[in-house]
Chains A and B, each alone.
Chain A
Amino acid sequence: MAILPDAVANQIAAGEVVDRPASVVKELVENAIDAGARHVRVEIAEGGKTLIAVSDDGSGMGREDAILALDRHATSKIVVAADLVGVNTFGFRGEALPAIASVARFQLTTTDGEGDGTEVTVTGGRVERVAPVARQRGTTVTVRNLFFNTPARRKFLRSVSSETRAAWEVIGILALSHPDVGIEFVADESARLQVPADQPETDRLGQVWGRDVVASMIPLGHAVGSVRVEGMIQRPADARPTGRRTQLFVNGRPFRDPGLIRAAEAGYRSAIAPGDRPTLLLKLSVPPGDVDVNVHPAKLEVRFRERFQVERAIEEAVRLALGGLDASATLAPGGGSAGWASPRRPMAEASGDAAWLPFDQAAPAAPDAGISTRSFAAPLFQLRDTYIVFETPEGAVFVDQHSAHERVLYEQVMADFESGAVASQRLLLPITIELTDEELEAAERVGDSLRRIGFEFEPFGGRSVVLHAVPSPHPRFDATLCFRELVADLARGRFGGWANQLERFAATYACRAAVKAGMPLSEPEMRSLLVRLFATELPPHDVHGRSTIVTVPVDELERRFGRR
């Protein structure tokens, strides 16, 4: 029995840390950022199989450190075990460089800005040459012929395009987590990304994820205890069942956690069509002592001390953001957000609680769409007996009366279910309704729920039921029609995508009990509907994931009239 030689140990470590070119890119760029680089340039060829070169303008190393860096567990980032808790740098194990050097033709060129630079050439883990070289402050690592000495691993590499894509993913995540660092990414001599240092985060997100995607997103910002959540989330109306992106960061460090994504999706509950998956970018800030990032070799997973609090902060943050008028659809070219055109405050500045909430005259402690009821004092106008139109300082706002009422009723019914305070009007003249077999079965199946919202009915021979008492949610409520449609929907399994039976029932009821499109409303009725809409938790969204509100920003009007 013998202790493994370092070369072998490094190759084994390489198996964990370096499994494909993308992970080399990740390790090297993280090192560059840890070294305080302002600009990092990454170049790969053939998906990184033949060349990966990462140059930075960071602190660089002197000759001694440059040689030491290639020794296993050589690190400048921690000194004693206690430093592991609360470590703020990306790398800290001191495994990456020697591991990479052990499986490639490796060259390290570096200088700390004092005297000559150093060039270390390593092949398959064996230092071949150490020579002085002229270089500006910083470090360049060049990795050629990755896995040239481990043919088994080399065989497992995928196609050039898929390896390039993997590297691009890695670069994208790093670019998002470090808006203060400029990053240039060149693959096979074509520039894929070029972002300057200190870029506003939304601009950077636009360059990395595409402007269209980002235009469909709204900012969020919320804190629960010591957990702070910021980022961007997609409007429910723009979400699709496939092709979404999600990215989580904690204290600037990317990680994966399907549970937290589910927490964010829970925040969309009742505002999004079943099956639609929103694109999410969430940045968590927690005290360094409350998160353990050292649970996965590639540091992809983290552990939170107060996981429940983190989930709650995320769900609440999403809910609050969706409650803002910003989350409603805007009418702008291409259907995107006109808000995008005007530069937004970068996320880094969003330290004030309300900084990311729209219309923030005051820091909203409770869900608040920010439209004060004062706004409704202005003339209200009903368009096509369907849309309520009014003016805000930001532009013209269109509210779909049916969708709006649906949202109001949905939240009211859910609250009534909880409190049991449902008012059911007894009828002087009971109403007899003939149903189909399926409908009768559905009515009996959800009989309890129907009674809980105020419908009292009993079989009346054959397929008929007789209604003795009905809810009375608004003066124009048509109990007979509502009952018929509600039962028909339930029989046909509409809203089948809703997981929670009570919520599904409430959504169906809200849809059927709400005022319909094409119903003329008086001005006081419109005003009352708006006041109640903006008192709900999620004013901009109905229960189908459609918008209740469309705004035409003043900017857009001015643009169309050629005033700007």
Chain B
Amino acid sequence: MKFTITREKLHEGLGAVAASIPSKTTLPVLSNILVEATKDGLRLSGTDLDIAVSTIIPAQVDQEGATTLPARKLSEIVRELPSAAIRVTGSGEQRVQIECGRSKFKLLGLSRDEFPAFPAVKFDGAWRVQAKELQKLIAHVAFAASTEESRPILNGVLWELRPDRMRMVATNGHRLARMDVPVKGTGGQADLIVPPKALEQIRKLFGPDEEIEIARSDNHLGFRSAGTQIFTRLIEGPYPNCDQVIPRENDKIMTTDKAAFTAALRRMSIVASDQTHRIRLAFANGACKLSVTTPDLGEAQEEMTVAYEGDPLEIGFNAAYLIEILKYAPTDEVRMSFKGPERAMTCEPVGWDDPASYLTLVMPLRLLD
């Protein structure tokens, strides 16, 4: 194996793969990056067995070959090298010499045969999606997935792929995010439950204008563009039917400025309990009163003018959930709708010039007096 590559390209490629390298593992080869010099360029691959990432970067390959090298050390070396051509020469299967300017390194790796094979996903007849559409869905929905282990299905994001639209839904049972995007000719129909960690890689590693091919095997999903491939394990099982629980008869509507409401919520949270973040909202006559009382700590109140239609309402929330959904709201103004103190609140953007539709939902906290 022998190739020459610019420091910048190698640095970029290692950065893309690094996220899939586990920091702790019982299988030593997983700490390594698979380095393959091919006639198409240099292919770098890493996996933690849940997600696998592989990317091709341009390089002048003089002699094809492959090995695995410790990801961390290789990245550190490349980061510290001067901006110049790097020449990599394999000597034997597991020994590599790296030369750049007047620096010279020899690194020991592990045989490429030890590196796990990537999931066999056939891209024949793959679905096709614009990266930016997929990335918009991910950016607005994936945050809401559960991190708690009691209901594994909720640890994933539901991705409904249809010929003319895509939808993502994520919830932890306390709050939910859902987005629909109209698309053209995906060429497929599937309901997939994807780990958010894989979606995060898809958001980061594909360029917005790339077209991504997507295909699945029994329990894996593959994403492919010209240079990059990402594979992930799928979460099995039926995702709960969320359409059923999203309220349709919420009749109390509040419209407010996102930044002002967020600022008020953040102020209230300072005095809210560290554990429950519970605050109280009271709506009436074009005003929203925010208040919080925490035993042993103190209390706070704030009143802000909002557009509110409907009967007066008092309702409790985990302030952290409200601040979070507002953070992901794509517009400066948001519309929140309520039914009662024990019923779900929904939040939608106001005046979004995007064909997508976006909805977030937060379940209230019980108020006791």
Question: Is A bound to B?
Answer: yes
Residues of A within 8 A of B (CB): 412, 415-416, 419-429, 454, 456, 469, 472-481, 528
Known: A423-B273, A478-B150. A428 touches B369 (CB 8 A): no
* Minimal Cβ-Cβ distance residue in A for B272: A423
Please give 6 more A-B residue pairs, beta carbons under 8 A apart, in addition to A475-B147, A480-B150. A415-B295, A421-B294, A421-B295, A424-B368, A428-B245, A428-B363
B229 contacts the other chain (CB 8 A): no
B217 contacts the other chain (CB 8 A): no
B225 contacts the other chain (CB 8 A): no
7 closest A-B pairs (Cβ-Cβ)? Answer: A423-B276, A424-B366, A426-B363, A478-B150, A423-B278, A419-B295, A423-B365
Known: A419-B295, A477-B148, A479-B150. A428 touches B316 (CB 8 A): no
> Are B368 and A474 neighbours in the complex by a CB distance under 8 Å?
no
Which residues of the partner chain A approach B296 to less than 8 Å between Cβ atoms? 415
> Are A428 and B171 neighbours in the complex by a CB distance under 8 Å?
yes
> Are A427 and B174 neighbours in the complex by a CB distance under 8 Å?
yes
Question: Of the candidates B240, B295, B318, B364, which one forms a contact with A429 in the assembled complex, judged by CB atoms under 8 Å apart?
Answer: B240
Contact indicator per residue, chain B 314-358, by CB within 8 Å of chain A (1) or not (0): 001010000000000000000000000011100000000000000
Residues of B within 8 A of A (CB): 147-151, 171, 173-176, 240, 242, 245, 273-276, 278, 293-296, 316, 318, 342-344, 361, 363-366, 368-369
> Are A424 and B365 neighbours in the complex by a CB distance under 8 Å?
yes
> Are A473 and B363 neighbours in the complex by a CB distance under 8 Å?
no
Question: Of the candidates A419, A428, A473, which one forms a contact with B173 in the assembled complex, judged by CB atoms under 8 Å apart?
Answer: A428
Question: Of the candidates B149, B240, B245, B363, which one forms a contact with A425 in the assembled complex, judged by CB atoms under 8 Å apart?
Answer: B363
Known: A415-B295, A454-B366. A429 touches B173 (CB 8 A): yes
Please give the distance in Å from B91's CB to the nearest CB on chain A.
41
A479 and B245 alpha carbons, distance in the complex (Å)? 20
Please give the distance in Å from A430's CB to the nearest CB on chain B.
9
> Are B176 and A428 neighbours in the complex by a CB distance under 8 Å?
yes
Known: A477-B148, A478-B148, A478-B149. A425 touches B365 (CB 8 A): yes
Known: A415-B295, A415-B296, A429-B173. A423 touches B363 (CB 8 A): no
Please give the distance in Å from B148's CB to the nearest CB on chain A.
6
Known: A419-B295, A428-B245. A472 touches B276 (CB 8 A): yes
Q: Can you spell out 6 A-B residue pairs with CB atoms less than 8 angstroms apart?
A: A423-B275, A423-B316, A426-B344, A469-B342, A477-B148, A478-B150
A421 and B276 alpha carbons, distance in the complex (Å)? 11
> Are A428 and B361 neighbours in the complex by a CB distance under 8 Å?
yes
Which residues of the partner chain A approach B242 to less than 8 Å between Cβ atoms? 428-429
Please give the distance in Å from A382's CB to the nearest CB on chain B.
13
Which residues of the partner chain B approach A474 to less than 8 Å between Cβ atoms? 275
Which residues of the partner chain B approach A477 to less than 8 Å between Cβ atoms? 148
> Are B275 and A426 neighbours in the complex by a CB distance under 8 Å?
no
Please give the distance in Å from B203's CB to the nearest CB on chain A.
24
Please give the distance in Å from B322's CB to the nearest CB on chain A.
13
A134 and B293 alpha carbons, distance in the complex (Å)? 83
> Are A421 and B293 neighbours in the complex by a CB distance under 8 Å?
yes
A337 and B174 alpha carbons, distance in the complex (Å)? 48
A481 and B316 alpha carbons, distance in the complex (Å)? 25
Known: A415-B295, A423-B366. A481 touches B150 (CB 8 A): yes
Please give the distance in Å from B297's CB to the nearest CB on chain A.
11
A426 and B171 alpha carbons, distance in the complex (Å)? 13
Which residues of the partner chain A approach B361 to less than 8 Å between Cβ atoms? 428
Which residues of the partner chain A approach B148 to less than 8 Å between Cβ atoms? 475-478
